[in-house]
């Protein structure tokens, strides 16, 4: 689960996606090779989307199972499936600070884009339900950035393309009665997080340099953020 700068970047992208007209969407003609490629690949995976965890009037029956299903969707690279695990108004906290992550009304669009940027893997050493609608998860997260080919660019090993990182995190996760995540409250090493955030910003900068996004999007994204 990413924090800070990446959350802001993707929120801006989604804002452009929802504010532009049908004749001039977020990525203009470039949308076909970016979001729509991910959407097509996800359509084939929708049968693998997590089964709904039965809830009752007293809350979600098994919060941990629901959370783990969503994390497995993320690890599988299935943005559509991953988006199904989030409630409206989802909040992401990192070391006590609200990251201001805003999925808008389409968490699947967020994850479809993010999972084209990098592959996420999880190694768990602690997973338990800790109360009504709440679970605790401690894990090591692997982050492997794409080499650029997911966005129609030539394969590259030049930073940040094809770079990899590790993050050690512990999260207290809250779900609603429908077993969808409402809050992800994580603690982790800020240095590790900053490395990923910096690489994410550099990755977006590289896409802008390659004219993957329309100029008006990059003007907002790179205003004071290029690394």
Q: Once rounded to an integer, what is the mean pLDDT over residues 115-122?
A: 95
Q: Please state whether the predicted TM-score (pTM) of the whole model is above 0.75.
A: yes
> 3-state SS string over the chain?
CCCCHHHHHHHHHHHHHHHCCCCCCCCHHHHHHCHHHHHHHHHCCHHHCCCCCCEECCEECCHHHHHHHHHHHHHCCCHHHHHCCEEEEEEEEECCEECCCCCCCCHHHHHHHHHHHEEEEEEEEEEEEEECCEEEEEEEEEEEECCCHHHCCCCCCCCCCCCEEEEEEEEEEEECCCCCEEEEEEEECHHHHHHHHHHHHHHHHHHHHCCCCCHHHHHHHCCCCCC
Above 50 in pLDDT, residue 45? no
Quick: pLDDT tens for 165-201. 999 999 999 999 999 999 999 999 999 999 998 998 8
Above 50 in pLDDT, residue 55? no
Above 70 in pLDDT, residue 111? yes
Quick: pLDDT tens for 73-100. 999 999 999 999 999 999 999 999 998 8
The residue that leads in pLDDT, 222 or 163, is 163
Above 70 in pLDDT, residue 141? yes
pLDDT of 120: 97
The residue that leads in pLDDT, 1 or 221, is 221
The percentage of the chain sitting over the pLDDT mark of 90, rounded to a whole number, equals 57
pLDDT of 223: 62
């Amino acid at each position: 689960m990413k924090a800070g700068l990446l959350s802001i970047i993707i929120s801006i992208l989604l804002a452009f996606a929802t504010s532009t007209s049908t004749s001039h969407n977020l990525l203009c003609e470039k949308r076909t090779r970016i979001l729509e490629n991910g959407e097509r690949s996800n359509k084939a995976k929708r049968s693998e989307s997590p089964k709904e965890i039965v809830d009752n009037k007293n809350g979600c029956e098994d919060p941990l199972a629901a959370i783990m299903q969503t994390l497995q969707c993320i690890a599988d690279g299935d943005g559509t499936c991953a988006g199904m695990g989030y409630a409206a108004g989802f909040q992401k906290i990192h070391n006590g600070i609200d990251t201001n992550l805003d999925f808008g009304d389409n968490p699947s669009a967020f994850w479809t884009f993010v999972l084209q940027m990098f592959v996420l893997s999880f190694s768990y050493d602690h997973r338990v339900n800790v109360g009504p609608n709440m679970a605790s998860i401690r894990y090591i997260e692997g982050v492997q950035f794409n080499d650029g080919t997911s966005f129609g660019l030539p394969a590259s090993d030049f930073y940040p393309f094809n770079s990899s990182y590790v993050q050690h995190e512990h999260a207290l996760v809250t779900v609603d009665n429908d077993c969808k995540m409402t809050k992800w409250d994580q603690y982790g090493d800020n240095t590790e997080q900053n490395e990923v955030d910096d690489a994410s910003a550099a990755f977006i900068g590289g896409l802008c340099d390659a004219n993957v996004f329309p100029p008006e999007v990059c003007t907002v994204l790179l205003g004071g953020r290029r690394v």
